[in-house]
Amino acid sequence: MNFLKPIVTPIGQFMVDWITVVFIFLQQNFGDDLTIFIVICVIIVISGIIINIVWPGDIKGSIFSKGKIEELEDKIDKDEEDIVDSIRRCKDCGNPIGDTEVCPLCGARN
């Protein structure tokens, strides 16, 4: 496994370096009080709750993203319309005929 050493060693060194720097910083500045960590945790949870209420992501109802959702809905509707329009229809009766030359409903050649 020695052939992996030139790749693995710098990766390990990189990880150790940044973690050491951050950890020493935290030890020196926040090493004796849990308050800051509790505050960070609470802020993350509260912001998570607020963001989920405002932007649930997959349902509409958010006043902040209403315009964007409507825009997307229009786009989706347009795509669906395009699919319907792209189906070949009989010139005489309007029946969808797909790839066939003769309409199965009225027998007209297209």
**Site for another protein (CB under 8 A): how many residues?**
38
43-51, 81-89, 90-98, 101-109 -> range binding another protein (CB under 8 A)? 43-51
Per-residue HEC secondary structure of the chain comes to CHHHHHHHHHHHHHHHHHHHHHHHHHHHHHCCCCHHHHHHHHHHHHHHHHHHHHCCCCCCCCCCCHHHHHHHHHHHHHHHHHHHHCCCECCCCCCECCCCCECCCCCCEC
5-13, 88-96, 98-106 -> range binding another protein (CB under 8 A)? 5-13
Q: How far is the CB of 40 from another protein (least distance, A)?
A: 6
21 makes contact with another protein (CB under 8 A) = no
Q: How far is the CB of 97 from another protein (least distance, A)?
A: 28
Beta-bridge mates of residue 89: 96
Contact residues for another protein, defined by CB under 8 A: 8, 11-12, 14-16, 19-20, 22-23, 26-27, 30-31, 34, 37-38, 40-45, 47-49, 51-53, 56-59, 69, 72-73, 75-76
